Amino acid sequence: MSDLTAYLKAKQQEINAALERFWDGTEPFPTPLIQAMRYSLEAGGKRLRPVLCLAASEAVGGSDADVMPAACALELIHTYSLIHDDLPAMDDDDLRRGKPTCHKAFDEATAILAGDGLLTAAFEVLASAGRARRSDPLKWLEVSYLIARAAGCTGMVQGQMMDLSVEGKAITLEELETLQQLKTGALIEISVKTGALLGGGNPQEVAALTAYGRHIGLAFQLADDILNVEGKPEIIGKPVGSDQAHQKITGPSLIGLEQAKARARELVDSALEELEVFDMRGQPLAALARYIIERKK
């Protein structure tokens, strides 16, 4: 793809406009809770998960309109997870995207409730889409179920619990990748699969894009681990070296920095192989896969 930057910017603007419409229903409640939710959601994220959802829909011949509510729900869930990850009981981070984390900008209790509010809002958005699109409500019910599985105690939340439980312990690479597939990979994988399902993909297309999502989900976490070692704080928007300080098991700490980079490239190559059946329609997804391990933040 010739200009990923332009593609990302266009999709991010479209997603941000859709997210902005969600707040219309909250106007009677200009409370610190809503302020904290908006503060974190509008803090300047890459919108990678909703962009992947839109790109997967395009790959199977769908439109952005087909999947936009799900794309927004995925970003709401991702933002809630960041708020809770940053809390003192979790990663205890003071900065996120170059700004004070939610519990620093407000307070710890407000941050917890802001995360709760965003998570619940995600399923409000999904349910609302299912009610409005009466031609295929079962598809939206299926997507809601799959996203809940990926975000909850069989996915992201379980991965976070595992991450906390292995701090300072010896684990294998296989165990680490299982942890990271749950903690980070599950929501990325389901972002791609959701786009494929709601965009009208056939079973073979959905399977290929699901595998693509699984590979890039692991690659994304490895890239994050690498940036925590050699990234520049002024670019990534938070301090580096926190993984080592918290005795976290990461790809670089387990197999070394260069091997971690090689494994990330291997995962991206595997993801690209899954896109071969899509020809030109898969170009945005191919560019996004490369971007995941080449990004500086």
CATH number at residue 64: 1.10.600.10
pLDDT in the model for residue 2? 58
Instruction: Write the single-letter amino acid at 155.
Output: G
> Which residues, 6+ apart, have CB-to-CB distance to 40 below 8 Å?
79, 82, 83, 96, 102, 114, 118
pLDDT in the model for residue 137? 83
Dist. CA 242–CA 228, nearest whole Å: 7
Domain that holds residue 180: 4-294
pLDDT tens digits for range 152-200: 999 999 999 999 999 888 899 999 999 999 999 999 999 999 999 999 9
Ranges in the chain, pLDDT < 70: 1-2, 27-30, 134-135, 237-238
CB atoms within 10 A of CB 10: 12
**pTM for the whole structure:** 0.94
Q: How many domains does the chain have?
A: 1
